[in-house]
Amino acid sequence: MEKKAIAVLTSGGDAPGMNAAVRAVTRAALAKGMRVLGVRRGYNGLLNGDVFEMNLRSVSDIIHRGGTVLYTARSLEMLTPEGQKKAADTCRQLGIVGVVVIGGDGSFKGARALCREGILCIGIPGTIDNDIASSDYTIGFDTAMNTAMEMIDRIRDTAQSHDRCSVVEVMGRRCGDIALETGIAVGASAILVPEVPFDLQKDVIDRMMQTRKTGKQHFIIIVAEGIGGVSEIAKEIEEKTGIETRATILGHVQRGGSPTIRDRVVASQMGYKAVELISNGIGNRVVVMKDNHIVDYDITEALNMERKFNKELYDIALSISI
């Protein structure tokens, strides 16, 4: 009797810790007597048959590496009914009974479509933005924050030496979690996020001038990517305060690098849980962290959840950034 095969792919933006998840999926499945197929470049690989057999050694020495050894891509074809059927047919031809998809909401929608075509699918949240509503934590978030913090600490050295203000853009198009937690960690004077409306004069410039009266001479302003316009913000601050102000966009440096302990451990837990579900014939689920426990939700239920911004933490940041 031929062994059941499980496939694993990474989709969407890369995130540190994806490799730890791939490793956990591979080894957990092999331990259960299943075959494991690695899919290169996300759903594109599944559509084009870019698949290879994995063994225990296929995932040796990858747990500490950033990015994804399976590579990643976004697939427009997978958004179409024809593409979804083609991907499911490829799974059946290869004897794949289940697919573990590591990525964000867009990746989960592809997994849900595959489930509707009869393939068991489990989603694992891998995105540095921490913007998956169903999960308290997403793989890559901790590493991205630590990277941003290290870069901003270096920028602060220069800002302090020159009595400057530095306006720093961190990643997060629709989600301000990186900005919020990094801002607290670096002692930012102001934090601008998509979830909270702001007035540049009142919330940044006036606060800077007030704290300047207490002896503060240099300032760090953290801006989430979704706010944008850091160069314009820096220019307005300088014009209205007379403080030399520079803008810095950290960009994709936040996505790379060796994952932190938290990302490695959470990714390993989630990867193991995903295999456990598929081995029990369960699909159409998303593995998430809720209240520090690894649990699973129906994919549609998970996709329909509303993400809650931590306003309490934001208010704490506001009260201590003086």
- The CA-CA-CA angle for residues 177, 161, 231, to 5°, reads 50
User: 3-state class of 171 per DSSP?
Assistant: coil
Q: How many CB atoms lie within 10 A of CB 174?
A: 12
Of the candidates 138, 215, 152, 137, which has an alpha carbon nearest to the alpha carbon of residue 183? 152
- Distance CA(134)–CA(138), nearest Å, equals 10
User: 3-state class of 52 per DSSP?
Assistant: strand
**What element of type H or E holds 204?**
none
- Distance CA(44)–CA(72), nearest Å, equals 9
What's the gap between Cα 78 and its chain centre? Answer: 21
How many residues are recorded in the chain? 322
Please say whether the beta carbons of 100 and 6 come within 8 A: yes
Name the residues annotated as catalytic.
129
